[in-house]
Structure 1
Amino acid sequence: MKELYTVIQQVKDLQKSGLKFVLATVVRVEGSAYRRPGARMLIAEDGNWWGGISGGCLEGDILKKAQLALFSQNYKTITYDTREEDPFALGIGLGCQGVIEIHINPFQDQINALVEALKSHLEGNVAHTLQMHLSANFKIELDDAFASHGSEWSDGVFTEYLPAPMTVWVFGNQFDAQGFIQQASALAWRVNWVGILSKMASHLTVQGRYGYEDLWPIQSSDFLVMMTHDLEKDVKILEKLLSAPVTPAYVGILGPKKRFEKLQNHFKQDLVTLLPISTPIGLDIGAEGPEEIAISIMAEILTLKNNRNGQRLHLRDRAIHE
């Protein structure tokens, strides 16, 4: 998701500078590859670039192909077959075992149209299907996606799934809440901060700041992280969530099981049947300190969002991106 924000911002900056640019997009993958369809690399005519289409092994060659596309003002589609026995067969060291097809678009107006579609997606709270007709009859269609689906590249049309932007609500003013906000911001997650407004660090960039008594515009796709260290505040937060018209996707509560038992006793009912509660919050990675705890929580959120179980990859009996 962060890559989309980067591409959008850099397109704006390049337009201001007057530099021309191209956009390389991974449109098809067979077998193993570092990046999946939809990965993008923005390349300026001066050789600077942002994003990526591999783990670093293809970017150098794509830079050359991009200059050719920019000079000729024609689309270019390049296929790299990294299944070759000789990893240096293409003149570059390849670490994957698959086929990667990359489309290069040098047309500024078409890239601008794509950027506008991506901006529209990122400003909302739902998943979309993005379809690009990369031909003389260029067209972009952005429609709501009611179910997750794969990508497709056929007859010059690229279709991809854009998951709903990640929105997280962080409750609390302590150091671990601030550490989580910093880590989430690094991934370009949209963060809403709830706490005592006068105690909120001004240097942290968040989407919104709310007091405990404010109305919180929580959506069903949002993830909530409760790090108040205050049982009474947690009670009031849960009371508001239980009476709200929308149930969030996740409610993670910091603290041991015994602490949650006290919350259960207060409400005299099984809260887990009423809200998607996870407590103690985070994955078991032995986290210590605000930053590691933030990583633990973010990892758990990603497992839920991506429908994974958080196990070590060498134990997975299927392809990583299946």
Structure 2
Amino acid sequence: MEAYDILQAVEDCAQSAVLATVIHVEGHAYRKQGAMMLMLSDGSLYGSISPGCLEADLSGYVPLVEASQKPQMVEYDMRPADDFGWGETIGCGGLIRILLEPVTGELLVHLLAAKAAVDRGEVMRLTRSFAEGYSDIQYKLSGIDKDASPSSSSSDCQSLSNAYVYTFKPKPRVIVFGANQDAIPLAGLAISSGFRVVVADWRDAYCTQERFPGAETAVAFPGELVKKLRLTADDYVVVMSHQFDKDAEFVRAVLKLRLRYLGIMGSRSRSERLLDGMERPEWVHYPVGLNIGSEGPIENAISIVAELISKKRNVRAKEEWSSSVISGDIQGCRPW
């Protein structure tokens, strides 16, 4: 679950809650520094900080934190090889420090303000300053110039000697051009992976909320869509309408801008015909998705979202597509 989803859960929550944040990690851990989980008084959990082995233990602290209305630090040291209580069970072998905070007062106000700001496309930084121990925390929320904010490849959090800083950013947006049947699993998986998804098509009968629950929709012809979507350098775009002329019109219009990522479904030869001799920027990728030997809409969706995540994290895939197309059928498309 992304930080934005935690903010959404805080906004929607009608009961008392405790926010668990991983603020320090040494060695291996399932989740890294910055991972958050919201624990409600009724036992409900939003997010995770482990494969499930720490959540039950942490839930036991909720009544104590709520009763004291004071933050508390919990440490799990799984580094000792003979620690059968944790190390053998969790299989991580690292040191994890988790800050538990009652979501009330100043923290609640700042989290709600951060949610409103990121919904406006702003980047916000929440600083927690520690006095002695962790029971007394001073909070400060400040805006950051989006153009000067840390890139998505940078860590969203930073631990200092007496402070912990977290940067809240808007959800990365994925535009799926083409509302065909194979776009349904892609949209759903991208939403589940923390992306804001917009499905765009010129056919209003295909581009509906019923077909794409949880996604936004935009209906217009390709040339108009580029203006309507107001694409930015932070956007990810996947072109998969399977209509050559429509794909070509959309791709050529998009290439006049700059995106974070543009993936084109179809064979390499078809994609190069779409470009029609236009220069290929480094953010243009085809065939779309990581080469996992995928077949069919669901596996293709996994391949594509895996590549989106790798670009979001700025992680280079271990295996690139071969420059030669072994078969004519790439990513479920007909050979061109």
TM range (shorter): 0.7 to 0.9
After superposition, what is the alpha-carbon deviation per residue over 1:171-215, rounded to whole angstroms, capped at 9, x for unaligned? 112211222112212223111222122322431132341312342
Match of 1:116 in 2: 112
**Paired residues of 1:129 and 1:161 also in contact (CA < 8 A):** yes
Contact 2:70–2:102 at 8 Å: present in 1 too?
yes
Which residue number in structure 2 is paired with residue 138 of structure 1?
139
Whether 1:280 and 2:287 are equivalent positions in the alignment is yes
Counterparts of 1:121 and 1:92, CA distance in 2? 42
Give the superposition deviation at 1:241. 1.7
Which residue pairs with 1:318 in the alignment?
Answer: none
Match among 171, 178, 185 for residue 172 of structure 1: 178
Post-superposition CA distance 1:279-300 (Å, at most 9, x none): 1111111111111111111111
Q: Quick one: which amino acid aligns to residue 249 of structure 1?
A: R
* 1: CA distance, partners of 2:7 / 2:54: 22
For residue 168 of structure 1, give the secondary structure of its aligned residue in structure 2.
strand
Decide which moves more: 287-296 or 65-74.
65-74
Contact 2:289 2:305 in 1 (8 A): yes
Mapped pair 1:211 → 2:216: no
1:241 aligns with 2:250: no
Displacement of 1:304: 1.9
Letter in 2 for 1:258: S
Q: Which residue of 1 aligns with 2:193?
A: 187
| Larger relative helix fraction | 1
Helix, strand or coil for the counterpart of 1:197?
coil
Deviates more, 1:125-134 or 1:165-174: 125-134
Paired AA for residue 113 in structure 1: V
Distance 1:300 1:289, change over 3 A: same
- Aligned pair in 2 of structure 1 residues 88, 233: CA closer, same or farther (>3 Å)? same
In the alignment, what sits opposite 2:262? Answer: 251
Give the 3 Å change call, closer, same or farther, for CA 190–108 of structure 1 in structure 2.
same
Cα-to-partner distance string for 1:248-288 (whole Å, 9 max, x where unaligned) = 11111111122123224xx3x24314x73211111111111
1:1-322 matched pairs, under 5 angstroms? 2-15=1-14, 19-89=15-85, 93-120=89-116, 122-125=118-121, 129-133=125-129, 135=136, 137-144=138-145, 145-147=149-151, 148-149=154-155, 151-162=157-168, 165-195=171-201, 196-203=203-210, 204=212, 205-212=214-221, 213-214=224-225, 215=227, 216-243=229-256, 246-264=257-275, 267=276, 269-273=277-281, 276-311=283-318
**SS of equivalent to 2:70:** coil
Task: Report the number of matched residues.
Answer: 302
Alignment-derived partner of residue 329 in structure 2: none
Query: RMSD value over aligned CA atoms?
Result: 2.6
1:129–1:9 distance in 2 versus 1, CA, 3 Å: closer
Q: How many angstroms apart in 2 are the aligned matches of 1:299 and 1:127?
A: 25
Alignment check: 8 A CA contact 1:172 1:227 kept: yes
Q: Which amino acid aligns with 2:247?
A: D
TM-score by length of 2: 0.80
Q: Is the 8 A contact 1:256 1:280 kept in 2?
A: yes
SS in 1 for 2:90: coil
Give the conservation status (yes or no) of the 8 Å contact 1:33–1:100. yes
Q: CA deviation at 1:124?
A: 4.7
Percent of paired sites with the same residue: 30
Structure-2 residue corresponding to 1:317: none
Cα gap change, 1:142 to 1:102, in 2 (>3 Å): farther
Q: TM-score, normalised by structure 1?
A: 0.84
- Which segments of 5 or more consecutive residues in structure 2 lack a partner in the other structure? 131-135, 320-336
1:26 Cα deviation (Å)? 0.8
Task: Give the residue type in structure 2 aligned to 1:300.
Answer: E
What residue ranges of structure 1 are gaps of 5+ in the alignment?
313-322
